[in-house]
Amino acid sequence: MTQSEKKSQTTLPADEHNNSPPLPALPKKASPLVAILLLLIAMLSLQGGASLAKTLFPVVGPQGVTALRLGLGSILLLLYFRPWRFKMRGGNFRALLMYGLALGCMNYSFYLALRTVPLGIAVALEFTGPLAVAMFSSRRPVDFVWVALAVAGLLFLLPLGQSAGGVDLKGACFALIAGACWAVYILAGQRAGSSYGPGTAAMGSVIAAIIFFPIGVAQAHTSIFTWEILPLGLLIALLTSAIPYSLEMMALTKLPAKTFGTLMSMEPAMAALSGIIFLGEFLTASQWLGLAAIIAASAGSTLTIQRKTKIETVDVPGNTPSGK
CB 130 within 8 A of CB 182: yes
pLDDT of residue 25: 64
| φ and ψ at residue 25, rounded to 5 degrees | -145, 150
Q: Which residue has the higher pLDDT, 71 or 199?
A: 71
| φ and ψ at residue 132, rounded to 5 degrees | -65, -40
pLDDT of residue 10: 37
- DSSP-assigned beta bridge partners for residue 315: 9
Q: What is the DSSP letter of 162?
A: G
pLDDT of residue 58: 95
**Which of 250, 314, 242 has its CA nearest to residue 77?**
242
CA 32 to chain centre: 24
Rounded to 5°, the CA angle 55-237-320 comes to: 90
CB 207 within 8 A of CB 97: yes
CB 219 within 8 A of CB 63: yes
pLDDT of residue 47: 94
pLDDT of residue 11: 37
Lowest mean pLDDT among 59-73, 84-98, 147-161: 84-98
Count the helices and strands in the chain (H runs, E runs).
14, 2
Identify residue 5 by its one-letter amino acid code.
E
SS3 content of the chain, % helix, strand, coil (to 5): 70, 0, 30
